Amino acid sequence: MADVNQIPSKSGLKPEAESHAEAAHSDAVLGMFAPSLYADHVKVYPRAVSGYFRNIKWGVLILCLALYYIGPWIRWDRGPNAPDQALLLDMEGRRGYFFWIEIWPQEIYYITGLLILGAVALFLATALFGRIWCGYTCPQTVWTDLFMLVERWIEGDRNARMKLDKQPLSLAKAWRKIAKHTVWLLIAAATGGAWIMYFQDAPTVTREMLTGQAGMGTYFFFGLFTGTTYLLAGWAREQVCTYMCPWPRFQAAMQDEHTLAVTYQGWRGETRGSHKAGQSWEGRGDCVDCRACVNVCPTGIDIRDGQQLECIGCGLCIDACDDIMAKVDRPLRLIDFVSMENLERRPKKQPQIVKLIRSRTVIYSVMLVVVAAVMAAALLLRSDVELNVLHDRAPLFVTLSDGSLRNGYTVKVLNKRRETVQYRLSLDGQPMAGLFLGGERDAGLQKELVLDVEPDSVGEFRLFVRMPREAIKGASMDVELVLRDAATGRKATSYDTKFNGPN
């Protein structure tokens, strides 16, 4: 109390005003000197809603969750000695499997391509339809929605939940809270578990996890994804969108006046005010200020304040408002998915325009097609063998007793087939060259070497090439090593390298 008494005397208030000053203590007096730089979390209690957009949201939610949880269980027969999981990123075996496609670490660019495709598709969708990613398909939205559904089943709808949270702790409150968090944790565990399955064989890792035989890394990532799912979907929710996610901050760069956005049509709604049955609608807006749009909002904002960072564009407020509009017998879609251009045209009774072809949508579409075409071409032309040749750096060449020169190479043959393949390696266009493999000098010089490479692995060979002095032109000669499939005799691939000699 002492400090409170001090302040009025400083500000020259008379003793009678002291009690008044005490009431205003936190708001005015202290507030003036120490504004709070930290905001308490205001819990959002979204009300259940039904309608057109809610149905779409349910549909997308079921589809996304089904894809995620069922994905790793889809089987795909690749023959013996290969995993039969359709979607698998095998980190230990260093292979990625996507149905009929199998990629090696050297081909990680396919995943880069997928990410670019995903990003550009997101840009295009955002340019056309606004934040539908945020509102419908983002994992944060999907799992938050699922967690809210559980919360509603156990604790009841908005009002019941608010009442429950205000109650002192009781048995009825405790079991509801425990039940909710238990179900949340179970869902989170299923989510973390499914994540692991994209990196290890699903049935095997499930059995290992349940019997306690999985590795530390497996349990760690299971725990990590279980924990983050529980925290982000159960507790953080809209805080993720507002404070953590960078996407809301820069997605506006993809939008223009033709982009759809969830918008309160102020020209129709204002002046807002409560409305009794039978009252005239003359001289006032359609908004009856029922706050239904605020109550259903998963991020707890008022859409009537205009476009804002926190709006994830899910359209649940449209469903809520349409309910009310139907009840008061006014036209639906006071809140609507509408572009800024059309929003301006409506009060002027101008025709609505839909302009899908704009410079940004064209650019995104072209990018999408180009990247997809490049990826498809790369995939179709993908060879099941690769040849890598590394010329020795020391020595660059060796002079032999008869004056001829020898160069050494390390040759790597990547056999991506599931069977042992015999290849033939030769140096084309150099009739005087003789080849031999490290450790096989006794076999004499060959024109063509036979290389056997084990299935699904890299064969490494030491190659020596010997050429008489008269065949050598200059200090460094371009040569081409050609790899042929021994069975068919067809050229599989080749590698351009050098043959070095003295100046």
Partner 1 sequence: MPTKIEKDSLTGTETTGHEWDGIKELNNPLPKWWLYTFYACVLFSVVWSVLYPSVPGIRSYFAGITGSHQRKDVEEKLSAAAASQAQYRDKLANLDFAAIRNDPELTRFALSGGRVLFAENCAPCHQSGGVGAKGYPNLADDDWLWGGSIEAIHQTLRNGIRWPGNDDTRLSQMPRFLADGMLTAPQVNAVADYVLSLSGLGPANLPTVAEGAKIFAEQCVACHGEQGKGNRELGAPNLTDKIWLYGSDKASVVQTIAQSRNGVMPAWSGRLDPATIKMLALYVHALGGGE
Residues that bind partner 1 (CB under 8 A): 31-41, 236, 239, 243, 392-395, 398-403, 406, 408, 438-439, 441-442, 462, 464
Q: How far is the CB of 242 from partner 1 (least distance, A)?
A: 8
Minimum CB distance to partner 1 smaller for 113 or for 468: 468
Q: How far is the CB of 32 from partner 1 (least distance, A)?
A: 6
User: Per the structure block, which two tokens stand in for 91?
Assistant: 């980190």
Q: How far is the CB of 403 from partner 1 (least distance, A)?
A: 4
Beta bridge pairs of residue 428: 480
Q: How far is the CB of 387 from partner 1 (least distance, A)?
A: 20
Minimum CB distance to partner 1 smaller for 88 or for 463: 463
User: Per the structure block, which two tokens stand in for 11?
Assistant: 């500000």
Alpha-carbon separation of residue 300 from 8, 138, 262, 316 (angstroms): 39, 18, 15, 12
Helical packing angle, 52-70 and 171-197, nearest 10°: 50
In DSSP notation, 82-138 reads: S--BSEEEETTTTEEEETTEEE-GGGTHHHHHHHHHHHHHHHHHHHHHSTHIIIII-
Minimum CB distance to partner 1 smaller for 39 or for 169: 39
Minimum CB distance to partner 1 smaller for 2 or for 37: 37
Would you give the distance in Å from CA 381 to the centre of its chain?
28
Q: How far is the CB of 439 from partner 1 (least distance, A)?
A: 5
Q: How far is the CB of 39 from partner 1 (least distance, A)?
A: 4
Nearest in space to 262 (alpha carbons), one of 56, 41, 121: 56
Tell me, what amino acid is at 51? G
Minimum CB distance to partner 1 smaller for 160 or for 398: 398
Q: Are 51 and 314 in contact (CB under 8 A)?
A: no
Q: Are 51 and 38 in contact (CB under 8 A)?
A: no
Buried b (16+ CB within 10 A) or exposed e, 16-53: eebeebeeeeeeebeeeeeeeeeeeeeebbbbebebeb
User: Per the structure block, which two tokens stand in for 265?
Assistant: 């049509």
Q: How far is the CB of 11 from partner 1 (least distance, A)?
A: 13
Query: Within 10 Å of residue 421's Cβ, how many Cβ atoms?
Result: 21
Q: How far is the CB of 402 from partner 1 (least distance, A)?
A: 7
Minimum CB distance to partner 1 smaller for 118 or for 395: 395
Nearest in space to 165 (alpha carbons), one of 50, 40, 42, 301: 42
Minimum CB distance to partner 1 smaller for 235 or for 281: 235
Q: Are 312 and 137 in contact (CB under 8 A)?
A: no
Question: In sequence order, what E strands does 353-490 have?
Answer: 385-391, 398-399, 405-415, 421-428, 434-437, 448-453, 457-467, 476-485
Would you give the distance in Å from CA 425 to the centre of its chain?
44
Q: Are 257 and 319 in contact (CB under 8 A)?
A: no
Minimum CB distance to partner 1 smaller for 166 or for 393: 393
SS3 4: helix
Minimum CB distance to partner 1 smaller for 32 or for 369: 32
Q: How far is the CB of 489 from partner 1 (least distance, A)?
A: 27
Minimum CB distance to partner 1 smaller for 236 or for 481: 236
User: Per the structure block, which two tokens stand in for 125?
Assistant: 């969708």
Q: How far is the CB of 305 from partner 1 (least distance, A)?
A: 9
Q: How far is the CB of 236 from partner 1 (least distance, A)?
A: 8
SS3 412: strand
SS3 385: strand
Minimum CB distance to partner 1 smaller for 31 or for 118: 31
Q: Are 127 and 259 in contact (CB under 8 A)?
A: yes
Minimum CB distance to partner 1 smaller for 44 or for 367: 44
Q: How far is the CB of 231 from partner 1 (least distance, A)?
A: 10
DSSP state of 299: T
